[in-house]
Structure 1
Amino acid sequence: MEVKALILPKQSAIDQMYSELGTSEAKIAIDLKILKEWMRKQPHLPNPDDGEKTVDEKRIKMFLILCKNSMEKTKVKLDQHYTVKPSAPEYFSKWDPTLPELIQSMKLSLFVPLPNPTHEGHRVVLYSARTTEDVDKFVYNDFIKLCFMTYDLRIAQLDACKTDIYILDLNNFTMNHVTTFLLNVKKAVECTFEAYPMRIHEIHMVNVKSFIQPLMNIVISLMKKKISNRIFNHNSIEELKNYIGPSILPLNYGGSYPKTSDEVIDEWYDELTKHREWLIAQESIVADKSKRPKNCNTNLDSFGTATEGSFRKLEVD
């Protein structure tokens, strides 16, 4: 199914992804039943049968796919996802895209999935500062909140992708941006990898200025080595096109997709507002730490979330 803002990969790409993961639609349907039954048995997690606080089945499916079809990892990541959210209200509360501060943030910065997937089924996501003006009005927490809203809506409602490819266009980045990011980036990166089963295929940086390098060094240090090895620094947009096909890139990036990045972000904002009620509801669909069993076989990190390997596979008749 195609939606206005995102076009899904072709069925052949999805079939190839399932083949690589050793699964199928039929197998995933069975696994979803097992995972939902497991959630019902966790008193601290949202109940997938709760009509008022519905846990999206598509989210569970995408978590399973992005966890490479590992039931153990999916359980861990679902537990982390619902536990991290109330631990970082500056990022995960007030998900109303019509709030003035979020509208302002979208005018100043851009974090948007591009409509066309790659031939292999990857989703390309573009980040840039939209202007060098009004930089003093840039609020880091509002920007990160929009990033999480965007990713959450994608995986729980709209997208089906193999992994993500990120383009970081730093042309309009200023020292003010760098200073703001340096003060806050560590928690945002940690929340990202705790709350979501991020699979990053590649990161492409363009228009990198020398004063940005200290920030990039910190971000890279927070990533696993296998991800940091997939970061490419390009001297020009033309060089970027050697990695990402022109049918994916907007017009102002030398692509043949018939819209500019500003038009793409405007359409994505329409998608956010169309899902306004759903986004607002996500604030209450979280874990209740007070109900976590004291004898639960989990290892907890600084966010109070479970670490990998702490669950045993659930057997369901």
Structure 2
Amino acid sequence: MCDRRMSSQALLGKEHGVVKKKVVLAMRLVVLAGARSKLPRTNFSRELNNVGGLALTWPPPKMESLSYVYCFLLVLSSCKLELGKYAKRILNAWFSNLWEMFFAITMERTLFEVGDCVLQNVLDSFNTSEKSLQQDVITLTKWMQTQPHFPEIMEPKTLQNFLIQNKFSIERCKQKIDMYYTIKSKLPEIYGTINPNSPGMHRARSILYSVLHPRLTKEMCRVLFMKVRNKDRVNELLIGDISRNFINLQELRMREDVVFGDVMVLDCQGLAPLLFKVTPMSMYKSTVLIYERVYSLRLKKVYLLNLPAVGEKILSIVKKIMLPKLFERIEICTAETLKESFPIDMLPKDYGGEGYSLEELKDMWDAKFLEKKDFYDRLDQTRIHENLRPGKLKDDDILGVYGNFKKVDLD
């Protein structure tokens, strides 16, 4: 669009700096709003072509990803502003004509689409009421205020999800909340480099799709899709990267979703190098521990696609460390099975559906993680104050001494 670029020195100028900040903000907003909306891309193309008289084909041939929007705005931000009124007209048009539309779409749509009736249906399934839920939230809040070792008091929405996950048992919630904070210090191999905006997590997401779908299933379950994105770089991936990404997704779910149940779709094609990689048993056990003892994962189904021959050996290991009732929910299947299990407009295009592609879902989550940067930075500093703990952690025997797991017999 423009070959002339600003020098790095010019970018430091006050005027250029202000404009660049606006463009970066617009870039984030466009990706968030465009990715989450179901507005046909032809409509976006029409809007872009009308902005400032800008002649642009959007998206270009064979361009499926919203990454093109990033490219467009990055080029615009790096072009010389000496283009004069034309460049300013484009920028003004973007902010004056499209800001409200994008903001409205962003506010209306979310990565956790939860209908008004979902929470009530969940409460009905447990034979409880919203009034009782609110009272339980108050009870847990008051309890947390008496625990000097906690670094914060959880928000009501987060406590609500702890209650749902633990079937409204106050005592179980207390144990899981304590474990939620404690485990961050006990497992530095996972939590030490967990920030989703860190270079390591950016690298992991560039290699492996690990994304939640915005829509719930009819059983009110959230679906996680996992598939290799870059087969040439699988050797760079670690089992811990998968655990860290799951936790980052779960942190937002606990605050923005109604966490009732989970379904996982794990595509094993191209994962063989990771499966053959020597991984300490403690890492597998840590992952299962977090799923079961912190988030009380209510796993309804696991679909395994393209399982390699070594997969059976891996399953035998998983069986040793996973609760039997969870292991029984694992099903080896094909893409055709997914078509029978999910609505066609929900199933990703990667598997013959008409829903968001995995690349589109990745773009949406990348933008969400960036939007929540301050939140994740704060989580990095949220740790338990062990010297202030009033009593022994009830599940401390699970963690063992200083978080080292007990030996697991694999014979």
Task: Give the deviation of 1:169 after TM superposition.
Answer: 0.7
Q: Which has the larger radius of gyration?
A: 2
Q: Distance in 2 between matches of 1:143 and 1:228?
A: 19
2:113 maps to 7
Structure 2 match to 1:35:
140
The change in CA–CA distance for 1:16 and 1:108 in structure 2 (over 3 A counts) is same
Partner residue in 1 for 2:122 = 17
Change (3 A) 1:118 1:181: farther
Of 298, 301, 305, the residue aligned with 2:397 is 301
Q: Could you report, residue by residue, the CA deviation over 1:256-308 in whole angstroms, capped at 9, with x for unpaired residues?
A: 21x211111111111111111101111222322222224x5835224269xxx
Q: RMSD across aligned C-alpha pairs, in angstroms? A: 2.2
2:336 to 226, 235, 238: 238
1:266 to 2:372 alignment: no
Describe the SS at the equivalent of 1:242: helix
CA contact (8 A) 2:234 2:273 kept: no
2:300 counterpart SS class? strand
Taking a change above 3 Å as real, the CA distance of residues 216 and 297 of structure 1, as seen in their structure-2 partners, is: closer
CA distance, structure 2, for counterparts of residue 89 and residue 225 of structure 1: 28
TM-score by length of 2: 0.67
Matched, 1:253 2:359: no
State how far apart, in whole Å, the 1-side matches of 2:280 and 2:265 are. 20
Structure 1 range deviating more: 267-276 or 241-250:
241-250
Map 1:1-317 to 2 at 5 A.
3-8=109-114, 10-48=115-153, 55-156=154-255, 158-180=256-278, 184-234=283-333, 236-257=334-355, 259-294=356-391, 298=394, 300-303=396-399
**Given the superposition, is the C-alpha separation of residues 106 and 12 from structure 1 closer, same or farther in structure 2, using an over 3 Å criterion?**
same
1:178 corresponds to which letter in structure 2? F
| 82-91 vs 138-147, which moves further | 138-147
C-alpha distance in 2 between matches for 1:61 and 1:266: 29
Provide the secondary structure at the position in 1 that maps to 2:147: coil
d(CA) in 1 for partners of 2:267 and 2:378?
A: 32
Instruction: Give the residue type in structure 1 aligned to 2:342.
Output: I
**Aligned residue number for residue 95 of structure 2:** none
How many residues align? The count is: 294
Question: Any conservation in 2 of the 1:94–1:280 contact (CA below 8 Å)?
Answer: no
Q: What SS class does the counterpart of residue 307 from structure 2 fall into? A: coil
CA distance in 1, matches of 2:265, 2:313: 19
Structure number with the bigger relative contact order (C-alpha 8 A, sep ≥ 6) is 1
Counterpart residue number, 1:311:
none
* Unpaired runs of at least 5, structure 2: 1-106, 402-411
Q: CA deviation at 1:77?
A: 0.8
Percent identity of the aligned residues? 24
Which region of structure 1 is more displaced relative to structure 2, 142-151 or 204-213?
142-151
Q: CA deviation at 1:18?
A: 0.6
Return closer, same or farther for 1:182/1:285 CA change in 2, 3 Å cut-off.
Answer: closer
